[in-house]
Amino acid sequence: MDKETIAKSLDASHALILPAHCVLHPHALGYLGHAIDTRPDTQLLYTDSDHLHQGAHVEPLFKPDFDPVLLEQVNYIGSAVVLDRCLLINVLAKPADMLGGQFLSQIAFCDKEVIHIKKVLVGERKMPPNRRYPADFYKKIAFDNAFCENHTAPFVSVIIPTRDQLVLLQQAVSSILQLTTYSYYEIIIVDNDSQDRATRDYLEIMSERENIQVIAFSGEFNYSAINNQAVAVARGEYLCLLNNDVKVITPHWLEAMLGYAQRPSIGCVGAKLYYANDTVQHAGVVLSPDTIAQHAFAYASKHDAGYMGLLNVTHCVSAVTGACLMVAKSIYLSVDGLNAADLKVAYNDIDFCLKVMRAGYRNVFTPEAELYHFESISRGIAETPEEKSQYSHERAYMLLRWREQLAQDPYYNTNFSTVGYSYCLPFIAV
């Protein structure tokens, strides 16, 4: 059926696609209609769902808000969706591909007015067919992400702040130099008044290498100011903020992060980080009105796929840790970098990510880049009265500036427990 014929047969502004294996909640149409009335410009609407097994509702699927990056890899929005008239015509013109990779790619690659109702309004009578896309669709995604390894490839500046801690610094730098397969990068080591003689000797030797700069930052530790100073001399079109207590695992880590950072819609890109015991240290950050930020899936096994397989697929997040963060230098400068005045030690990376998101970009976590992160070994945690006071000040600043954003993370469903932010349902005592 051609688009003109379809258009003549449709007189509604929106329509619900409801496959035969799906059942609506008794009040679902009321919720859907109210949402459309509230936002008539909506092009796509989806809800949370569950499965029907022997008459019982089981396995609820609590989804994130619209995530075009995740949608490129898996149809997480489900089978029953509401489409506006224009989008519906395009779908019905190719019924064989309804809700297949070709249709969903149209949504994923475009900015759409999307509503996600965080209520289970759809039940599926049987487990849906495999929602992962066919191989040729993955090839398209891989091609879109790829860039040629040649002299026109983007130059990356890897920025590592340090003070003494020679063993950690050597480990981080050596893992980059020995394992990294991407060629077009420099390392900028920012020395914050190292006193250890061996460390200073090592820095002098490193400064003689063609692709390593060593610059000095004097005075009290100020993570934001340190990185801002390094960015000012960075030659890279892209920046990678990196802690001195990390160790590269995957040789293609820079390519993996750069593949996403090069997209016009993407701001910050974070990596998958592990503790020394191979449990997850970082897989994206969940915002919280109580704790500001929590690492998603913390302490999960390295081999755990996570809820909805999120530990194994690239997806949008509100923020990523500055322990390994890539971003275009132009974006970094456009949001005035890290906040050196109010966030000298803590939360500067979260604040930065939120500024980038507010500027219209999406932040993503990718498991394709893996590193060890021996968290807080180099600086430790706040212990002195002065350090605790500094931390309290920075926490108060974040709560005041980002109160609305911290109230609800769009990528962490409100149905989940806020204890540990582990994608689990709240415990209800009976």
Task: State how far the Cα of 78 lies from the Cα of 70, in Å rounded to an integer.
Answer: 13
Task: State how far the Cα of 248 lies from the Cα of 251, in Å rounded to an integer.
Answer: 7
The answer on 225 and 92 residing in a single domain is no
- Does residue 429 lie within any of the structural domains? no
CA distances from 78 to 19, 35, 51, 154, 225 (A): 10, 18, 11, 37, 45
- Does residue 413 lie within any of the structural domains? no
- Does residue 357 lie within any of the structural domains? yes
The pLDDT value recorded for residue 166 is: 97
The answer on 194 and 141 residing in a single domain is no
CA distances from 6 to 81, 212, 356 (A): 19, 62, 41
Residue 10: which CATH number? 3.90.550.10
- Does residue 134 lie within any of the structural domains? yes
The pLDDT value recorded for residue 134 is: 46
The pLDDT value recorded for residue 419 is: 78
- Does residue 417 lie within any of the structural domains? no
- Does residue 315 lie within any of the structural domains? yes
Closest CA to 304 of 274, 269, 271: 274
Q: What is the mean pLDDT of each run of 10 residues along the chain (430 residues)?
A: 64 87 93 95 94 87 95 88 84 60 61 89 72 43 42 87 96 98 97 97 96 96 98 98 98 97 97 97 94 94 95 97 98 98 97 98 98 74 80 95 96 88 71
Looking only at the bridges linking them, the beta strands covering 315-317 and 362-373 are antiparallel
The answer on 170 and 126 residing in a single domain is no
**Residue at 248: amino acid letter:** V
The answer on 356 and 382 residing in a single domain is yes
The domain of 364 spans: 156-407
Structure tokens at 216: 């000095």
Structure tokens at 116: 């996600």
- Does residue 415 lie within any of the structural domains? no
The answer on 92 and 18 residing in a single domain is yes
The answer on 226 and 111 residing in a single domain is no
Choose the final residue of a domain: 126, 145, 164: 145
> Model's pTM, two decimal places?
0.90
The answer on 200 and 267 residing in a single domain is yes
The pLDDT value recorded for residue 287 is: 96
The pLDDT value recorded for residue 402 is: 97
3-state secondary structure of 115: strand
Domains identified in the chain, total number: 2
The answer on 328 and 255 residing in a single domain is yes
The answer on 402 and 315 residing in a single domain is yes
Residues 405 and 353: beta-carbon distance below 8 Å = no
The pLDDT value recorded for residue 141 is: 43
The answer on 115 and 220 residing in a single domain is no
The answer on 231 and 104 residing in a single domain is no
Half-sphere exposure of 268 (CA within 13 A, CB side): 31
The answer on 168 and 87 residing in a single domain is no
3-state secondary structure of 365: strand
3-state secondary structure of 363: strand
Closest CA to 77 of 29, 10, 19: 19
Choose the final residue of a domain: 99, 125, 145: 145
- Does residue 430 lie within any of the structural domains? no
Choose the final residue of a domain: 124, 145, 166: 145
